[in-house]
Amino acid sequence: MANLVKYPQIQEKLFMEIKGVVRDGEENIKEDDLQQLPYLKAIILEGLRRHPPFHFVFPHAVTEDVVVGEYVIPKEAAIVINAAEMGWDLKVWEDPMSFNPSRFLNKEGETFDITGRREIKMMPFGVGRRICPGYALSMLHLEYFVANLVSKFEWKAVDGDDVDLSEEQEFTMVMKNPLQAQLSLRSK
């Protein structure tokens, strides 16, 4: 939501997408409607890439020595993967520190595979056998809440506030300076 306040043009583009899908008189955006909102999904993915709630996945270990490229992973050593840095890798992502949801819209309409089964370019939920079992539920809730919050309210920065996206480590990463926004009800 902070990025949607910071970049009103992204919020407006999302609102237009929602308006094109939600039928007149429909009170809430429904789960079925979400399938028709690719820009919404792109915004959620870009949020998870740029600001993953967990910078590190849980420690993992191998049961026997394994060679990965030029590295030996010794048996039973605790390996902690910095998943956040993976999503900011200059070799993989263009201008990785900017918030640009359009990077997730591809011309073929293919959706990005968050589970990493095709390729691993970021891993906010981990990947493989120990992937977060709540990933699908989380994606659904994120899409559902953001869609409804933007469809009902216009979110604006408080006058003169540039929206500081600095992070701070608590149980998950959180905003160092919590978001302050002015909400106005959108006319029906």
User: Binding-site residues for heme, please?
Assistant: 132
> What DSSP state is assigned to residue 124?
T
Out of 125, 143, 146, 163, the residue judged to bind ligand HEM by CB under 6 A: 125
**What Rg value do the Cα atoms of the chain yield, rounded?**
19
Out of 84, 124, 146, 163, the residue judged to bind ligand HEM by CB under 6 A: 124
Q: Is 87 a binder of ligand HEM (CB under 6 A)?
A: no
Residue placing its CB nearer to ligand HEM in the complex, 72 or 79: 79
Out of 79, 137, 158, 174, the residue judged to bind ligand HEM by CB under 6 A: 137
Contacts of 177 (CB under 8 A, 6+ apart): 164, 166
Give the C-alpha separation, 111 to 38, whole Å: 8
Give the C-alpha separation, 166 to 184, whole Å: 25
For 101-180, where are the E strands, in sequence order?
153-157, 167-169, 173-175
Single out the segment in contact with ligand HEM by CB under 6 A; choices: 23-31, 128-136, 160-168, 178-186. Answer: 128-136
Residue placing its CB nearer to ligand HEM in the complex, 2 or 22: 2
> What DSSP state is assigned to residue 131?
S
Out of 25, 69, 133, 178, the residue judged to bind ligand HEM by CB under 6 A: 133
Q: Is 134 a binder of ligand HEM (CB under 6 A)?
A: yes
